[in-house]
Structure 1
C-alpha cells in the first residue's frame, strides 16, 4: 500500500490539477515550437538540411508538415478530446526528436540551430539537447499516465468531456 502525506481526496485533486498543469505546459510548448517554425518554414527547412537525413527536395514539405503537426497537436492537447491519444502522440513525437538528437550527436554533426523553436530561439545541437528532449518525453509520458487515470476531464479549449 502506498502511503501519502495528503488525505486521499486531496491527493486525487492534486493529481487532477497536475494533469491540467501538464496539459497547459505541453500545449503551450508545442504551440510555441510550431509558431517558431511556421514563421519561417524555409528557414526551418534549411535547419533540417544540416541534419543530413532527408533528400533536399523533401525538406520544405517535411518542414511544413512537422510545423503543422506540432500546431495541431497543441490544439488537440488543449481541447482535451481523447487526451490519452494526444499525449501518446506527443510521446511518440518526442521519442523521434530524441532519437534524431542522439544520432546527430553520435555522428559528430555541428548543427548551429537544433530547430527546436524555429526562428524564435536558435540553439546549437548538443548533448544538452538530448537531455532536454528526454525530459520532455518523460513529461509527456506523465501526461499520458494522468490522462489514462482521469479520462473524463474537461478540455481547456472547448469545455466538454473528452
Structure 2
C-alpha cells in the first residue's frame, strides 16, 4: 500500500508539472529524437493521461487490487524508459528529461536511467502483487461457489 501511495504522489506530481508545461512538452519529448510535431503532442497527451489515471487511482484507492492502473503505470514507465534508453544510447543531448515538465528539470544521464529502471522494478512488483491478489480472489470465489467456507 505504501508503494502505491508513493508512486501515486510521484505520478500525479509528474502529470501536474507536465500539464503546467503543456505547450513546451512536445518539444521536450521531441528532444528524445523519436517523435516530433503531432506525434509528440499525441504521446504527451497519452503520457499525461496515463500518469493521472494511475497516480490518482493509487492515491485514492491504495488497497485496490484492480490491475488496470498497474498496467497503465507499467505502460507509462516503459514509454519514459524507452525514450530515455534509446536517446542515451544514441548520445542525444537531452537537457530536460521532462518528467515534471519544466519543473525539477534534470538532463538525461545515468541517474535518470537509474530512476527509470526503478520505475520498471516497481512496475514488476505491482504486476506480481496485483496478479497474486487476483488469483487469491478467484480461488476464494471458486471456493464460495462450491459451498466451501472461505476464512
- What TM-score range do you get, normalising by the shorter chain? 0.7 to 0.9
TM-score calculated relative to the size of structure 2: 0.77
Correspondence for 2:112 among 121, 129, 153: 129
Sort the Cα spacing of 1:88 and 1:58 in 2 relative to 1 into closer, same or farther, 3 A. closer
The answer as to whether partners of 2:81 and 2:113 remain within 8 angstroms in 1 is yes
1:60 aligns with 2:31: no
Correspondence for 2:17 among 31, 36, 47: 36
SS in 2 for 1:150: helix
2:100 is matched with which residue?
A: 117
Higher mean C-alpha displacement, 103-112 vs 79-88: 79-88
1:16 is matched with which residue?
A: none
User: How far 1:125 sits from its partner (Å)?
Assistant: 0.5
Q: Deviations over 1:33-89 (max 9, x none)?
A: 101100111121220121121132333333233212211221233335553332233
SS in 2 for 1:83: coil
Q: Distance in 2 between matches of 1:85 and 1:141?
A: 14
1:88 is matched with which residue?
A: 71
Q: Deviations over 1:105-142 (max 9, x none)?
A: 11110010010111221100012211110111101211
Which structure shows the higher helix fraction? Answer: 2
Unaligned runs of 5+ in 2: 138-151
After superposition, the CA RMSD in angstroms is: 2.2
The answer as to whether partners of 1:37 and 1:44 remain within 8 angstroms in 2 is yes
Sort the Cα spacing of 1:35 and 1:100 in 2 relative to 1 into closer, same or farther, 3 A. same
The answer as to whether partners of 2:47 and 2:76 remain within 8 angstroms in 1 is no
1:150 is matched with which residue?
A: 133
Length, aligned pairs only: 134
